[in-house]
């Protein structure tokens, strides 16, 4: 399988995030992508190529223009305040506060984010832009006739909505790729999110649209981040009614329970009959992931790839979560190898 990868991800390396009530060294760090790339090369998954440059136009098909320009200019505005350390937001426009965009960089950051897991550094803009290019290059290869492509994106994207960032995510790589597929002639696209955490940004972007089906298997938001979205009764609205399927599972779910949810999601995708499938490939469902609570084992992941392959549609795998343990490479590549073996 072809892998798309850019070294630019190393330019984004935040020092701290706010998690569990304390400032903690970031779980989302360059070694994540490095581990996955090393594993792909070790098992000879296939050729690794650099992404093409696509510019802002595909990003603006999904993301709010003001948000995009905030992210582009944020570091310069931060430095203009005399600050040379990482940016983190600390104030958000909560209930009954005015939904206006302040002039001050701190206020802007709060307006365009929903948590303190999105540090911005000197290299963040280049890294997130390149991550989008990695996803778009993958979808371009599908357009040429590839049946499966792996876009090794970092930073990840599925928590980013059209006009806000959060959960380590800045631009929604999977959503941008899906929109590009539609713009290039696909009638229907499905997005299957297998990350441990709900793909809130992806759901939000497509919630009122019927041309994109979003399916997410994730930790139940009554227990798990992002807490306020991802419930089973969220099925879409307007033209998108019925085009969103959430399959929340409790802490401690093993592969038997998780696989049953996957089967349900794949059945829904089959009935939707998409021209293309985007898989938000998070492997933080692993039993030893440091910030997650499912119990999947490395030997389970090839079965996930095989089940996805059985759909028989072209698939773009877009890297999402899985945190700072060597098994992230084994598990992500196991999905891809299982897919390839089943496709033959």
Any residues with CB less than 8 A from the CB of 65 and at least 6 apart, and which?
Answer: none
Contact residues for 55 (Cβ-Cβ < 8 A; gap 6+): none
> CB count, 10 Å around CB of 76?
11
pLDDT at 18: 82
Residue carrying structure tokens 């992210």: 71
What the chain holds in terms of domains, given with CATH numbers, is: 2-343 (3.40.800.20)
Per-residue pLDDT at 325: 78
Task: Exactly one of 159, 198, 218, 293 is catalytic; name it.
Answer: 159
Helix residue ranges, H only, the chain = 31-42, 57-60, 65-80, 105-111, 124-143, 173-183, 200-206, 255-272, 301-309, 327-343
Q: How far does CA 166 lie from the centroid of its chain?
A: 11
Buried b (16+ CB within 10 A) or exposed e, 138-155: bbbbbeeebebbbbbbbb
pLDDT tens over the chain, length 344 residues: 999 999 999 999 999 998 888 888 999 999 999 999 999 999 999 999 999 999 999 999 999 999 999 999 999 999 999 999 999 999 999 999 999 999 999 999 999 999 999 999 999 999 999 999 999 999 999 999 999 999 999 999 999 999 999 999 999 999 999 999 999 999 999 999 999 999 999 999 999 999 999 999 999 999 999 999 999 999 999 999 999 999 999 999 999 999 999 999 999 999 999 999 999 999 999 999 999 999 999 999 999 999 999 999 999 999 999 996 789 999 999 999 999 999 98
Catalytic site includes residue 159: yes
Which pLDDT value is given to residue 324? Answer: 64
- Nearest Cα to Cα of residue 169 among 229, 120, 118: 118
Q: Provide CB contacts within 8 A for 5, sequence distance 6+.
A: 33, 37, 48, 49, 50, 51, 134, 152
Q: What is the pLDDT at residue 20?
A: 83
């Amino acid at each position: 399988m072809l892998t798309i990868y850019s070294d630019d991800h190393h330019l984004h390396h935040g020092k701290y995030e706010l998690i569990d009530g304390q400032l903690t060294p970031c779980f989302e760090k360059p070694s994540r992508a490095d581990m996955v790339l090393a594993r792909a090369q070790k098992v000879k998954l296939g050729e690794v190529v650099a992404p093409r440059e696509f510019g802002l136009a595909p990003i603006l098909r999904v993301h709010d223009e003001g948000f995009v320009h905030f992210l582009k200019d944020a570091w310069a505005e931060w430095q203009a305040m005399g600050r040379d350390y990482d940016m983190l937001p600390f104030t958000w426009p909560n209930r009954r506060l005015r939904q206006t965009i302040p002039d001050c960089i701190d206020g802007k950051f709060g307006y365009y984010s929903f948590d303190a897991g999105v540090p911005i550094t000197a290299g963040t803009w280049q890294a997130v832009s390149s991550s989008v290019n990695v996803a778009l290059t993958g979808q371009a290869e599908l357009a040429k006739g590839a049946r499966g492509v792996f876009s090794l994106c970092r930073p990840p994207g599925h928590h980013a909505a059209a006009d806000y960032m959060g959960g380590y995510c800045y631009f929604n790589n999977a959503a941008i790729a899906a929109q590009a597929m539609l713009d290039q002639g696909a009638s229907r696209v499905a997005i299957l999110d297998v990350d441990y955490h709900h793909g809130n940004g992806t759901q939000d972007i497509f919630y009122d649209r019927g041309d994109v089906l979003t399916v997410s298997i994730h930790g139940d938001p009554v227990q798990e981040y992002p807490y306020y979205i991802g419930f089973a009764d969220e099925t879409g609205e307007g033209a998108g009614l019925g085009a969103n399927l959430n399959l929340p599972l409790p802490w401690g779910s093993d592969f038997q329970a998780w696989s049953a949810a996957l089967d349900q999601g794949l059945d829904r995708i089959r009935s939707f009959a998409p021209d293309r499938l985007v898989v938000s490939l998070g492997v933080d469902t692993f039993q030893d992931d440091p910030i997650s609570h499912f119990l999947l084992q490395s030997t389970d992941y090839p079965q996930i790839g095989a089940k996805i392959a059985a759909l028989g549609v072209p698939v773009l795998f877009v890297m999402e979560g899985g945190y700072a343990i060597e098994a992230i490479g084994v598990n992500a590549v196991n999905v891809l190898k299982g897919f390839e073996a089943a496709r033959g």
